[in-house]
Amino acid sequence: MSSAPETQAASDAKLTADIKASTRDEPVSARLRTDEHVLARVTDGIYRKPGSAIR
């Protein structure tokens, strides 16, 4: 059984490879994950743009 960091690293590597192999007209799909802390920052309105909380 693989541990979470190994699984995350494999997932990141696959996403990186998919992005590099894609063309401008070809979207790349990925499942985004977050934790409760980031979600709370977005829903509490601390950031004007939700994407800013993820950085």
**pLDDT of res. 4:** 60
What's the number of domains the chain is made of?
Answer: 1
* Per-residue 3-state assignment (H helix, E strand, C coil) for the chain: CCCHHHHHHHHHHHHHHHHHHCCCCCCCCCCCCCCHHHHHHHHCCCCCCHHHHCC
- Residue 3: band (very low, low, confident or very high) from pLDDT cuts 50, 70, 90: low
For the whole model, what pTM was predicted? 0.48
Give the span between the Cα atoms of 20 and 5, in whole angstroms: 22
Per the structure, the complete domain to which residue 15 belongs is given by 4-21+30-53
Structure tokens at 8: 């995350």
**46 vs 13, more confident:** 13
Name the one residue in this structure whose structure tokens are 């709370």.
40
